[in-house]
Chain A
Amino acid sequence: MIYPQPRFLPGGDRFVLIEFGNEMNLELNFLAQGLASAIAAERTKGVVETAPCFASLLVHYDPDLVSYDDLQRETARLIRSLGPSDDLVLESRLFYLPTMYLDPWTRECVADYCSKIASKESDPELLSRANGLADTAELVRVHSGSEYWVASLGFWPGLPFMMALDPRSRLIAPKYNPPRTWTPQGTIGLGGASTSIYPVNTPGGYQIFARTPVPIWDAEKCFPLFRNSIVLFRPGDRVKFVPIGREEFDAIAARVEERSYVYNMVGYQKFSVRDYKAWIGTLAPSDRF
Chain B
Amino acid sequence: MIDVIKPGLETSVQDYPGRIGFWAQGFPPSGPMDSWSFRLANLLVGNEVGAAGLECQFVGPSLRFREATVIAVCGADMKPTLDSAPVPLWESIPVAAGQTLALGYAGAGAGARAYIAIAGGIASPPWLGSRATFHKAGIGGIEGHALKAGQAIPVGTGTGTPGRKVRPEARPAFATARRWTIEAVAGPNDDWINEAGHARFLGSDWKLSSRSDRTGFRLEGPQWTFTDKATNKAPENGSEPSNIIDHGYPLGAINLAGQTPIILVNDGPSMGGFINPYTVPSAAFWKLGQAQPAEILRFKSVSVAEAQALRRAIDALCAPNSLV
Contact = CB atoms under 8 A, between A and B. Distances in A.
Interface string A162-195: 0000000000000000000000000000001110
Given A12-B250, A12-B282, A63-B311, A234 B245 contact: no
B227 to A, nearest CB: 14
Contact of A157 (B25, B237, B281): B25
B233 interface: yes
Given A12-B251, A13-B308, A155-B271, 14 more contacts: A11-B187, A12-B280, A12-B307, A13-B281, A17-B250, A22-B233, A36-B24, A49-B23, A53-B271, A58-B248, A152-B248, A154-B246, A154-B248, A156-B26
B26 A155 contact: yes
Q: Which 5 A-B pairs have the closest CB atoms?
A: A58-B248, A11-B250, A9-B188, A15-B250, A154-B271
Nearest to B253: A11
A132 B234 CA distance: 22
20 contacts: A11-B188, A11-B252, A11-B279, A12-B253, A23-B234, A53-B271, A58-B271, A64-B315, A152-B246, A152-B271, A153-B24, A153-B26, A154-B246, A154-B269, A155-B271, A155-B272, A157-B25, A230-B127, A230-B139, A231-B26
A17 B247 contact: yes
Contacts of A68: 304-305, 308
Contacts of A200: 137
Contacts of B130: none
Contact of A154 (B20, B272, B279, B282): B272
Contacts of B185: 10-13
Contacts, number: 159
A36 to B, nearest CB: 8
Nearest to A25: B236
Contacts of A198: none
A58 B186 CA distance: 16
B236 A234 contact: no
Contacts of A154: 26, 246, 248, 269-272
A156 to B, nearest CB: 6
Contacts of A192: 236
B99 interface: no
Contacts of B280: 12
B139 A51 contact: no
Q: Which of B25, B234, B308 has the most CB of A within 10 A?
A: B25
Q: Which of B24, B127, B234, B237 has the most CB of A within 10 A?
A: B24
Contacts of B233: 22
Contacts of A55: 245, 247
B312 interface: yes
A161 interface: yes
A58 B25 CA distance: 13
Given A49-B20, A51-B270, A157 B26 contact: yes
Interface residues of A, number: 49
A158 B21 contact: no
Given A11-B187, A13-B185, A22-B237, A230 B128 contact: yes
B76 interface: no
B27 interface: yes
B266 interface: no
A17 B248 contact: yes
B239 to A, nearest CB: 10
Nearest to B311: A13
A278 interface: no
Interface in A217-276: 219, 229-231, 233-235
A11 B276 contact: yes
Nearest to B27: A157
A61 to B, nearest CB: 10
A19 interface: yes
Contacts of B250: 11-12, 14-15, 17, 58, 60
Contact of A52 (B22, B24, B234, B249): B24
Contacts of A13: 185, 281-283, 304, 307-308, 310-311
A146 interface: no
Contacts of A155: 26, 269, 271-272
B237 to A, nearest CB: 7
A97 B35 CA distance: 42
Contacts of A17: 187-188, 247-248, 250
A102 interface: no
A14 B245 contact: no
B189 interface: yes
Given A13-B282, A154-B271, A155-B269, A49 B26 contact: no
Interface string B260-301: 000000000111100010011111000000000000000000
Contacts of B107: none
B138 interface: yes
Nearest to B312: A64
A50 interface: yes
Contacts of B315: 64
A159 B25 CA distance: 8
